[in-house]
């Protein structure tokens, strides 16, 4: 086992950040070094890489994300306080089967989309997703408007 450091930044605040790390990695600490927000992770360097999702939220301005597992708090320069969460899908947390959204016609999972509304967040100084609309989904390849869930195996 080794300990690796992953760096986040203020630009990640309120957003989901995907980090690739060895399977089974365990977060052991979050903190700041020279104004760099960091996550220290105990890893097996020989394990296959997997993608994990994290977010950093400010105190009092953004809701704790659904599926968020608290990892630690960062007190940044100027006294701002941020909280680091890993986003764990409910299916993973409960052992349920995870699904992938795919185009019903062509089966592609990388080109399906759904419309959303974003709103300007003055505190974060960036656009934040506000609403995901119920209109039909869309495939960019075959222009079908139907998607379906398929189990991830």
| Cβ 5 vs Cβ 31: under 8 Å | no
* pLDDT tens per residue across span 75-126: 877 778 888 999 887 645 556 666 778 888 887 776 777 788 888 877 667 7
Report the predicted TM-score, pTM, of the whole model to 2 decimal places: 0.58
**Residue-averaged pLDDT of the chain:** 81
Confidence class for position 42, pLDDT limits 50, 70, 90 = very high
Which pLDDT value is given to residue 144? 75
Distance of alpha carbon 121 from its chain centroid, rounded?
Answer: 18
- Is 153 a residue whose pLDDT tops 70? no
d(CA 125, CA 123): 6
Per domain, the residue ranges of the chain are 1-94, 97-153
Which pLDDT value is given to residue 124? 65
Which pLDDT value is given to residue 91? 45
* pLDDT tens per residue across span 131-143: 777 766 677 777 7
- Is 37 a residue whose pLDDT tops 50? yes
DSSP state of 12: G
């Amino acid at each position: 086992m080794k300990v690796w450091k992953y760096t986040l930044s203020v630009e990640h605040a309120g957003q989901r950040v995907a980090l690739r790390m060895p399977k089974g990695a365990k977060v052991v600490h979050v903190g700041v070094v020279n104004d760099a927000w960091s996550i220290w992770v105990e890893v097996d360097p020989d394990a296959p890489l997997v993608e994990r999702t994290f977010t950093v939220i400010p105190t009092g301005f953004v809701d704790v994300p659904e599926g968020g597992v608290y990892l630690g708090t960062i007190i940044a320069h100027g006294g701002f306080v941020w909280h680091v969460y890993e986003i764990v899908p409910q299916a993973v947390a409960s052992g349920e089967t995870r699904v992938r959204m795919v185009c019903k016609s062509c089966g592609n999972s990388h080109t399906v989309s759904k419309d959303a509304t974003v709103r300007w967040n003055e505190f974060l100084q960036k656009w934040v997703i506000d609403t995901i609309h119920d209109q039909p989904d869309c495939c960019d390849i075959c222009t079908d408007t139907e998607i379906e869930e398929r189990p991830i195996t």
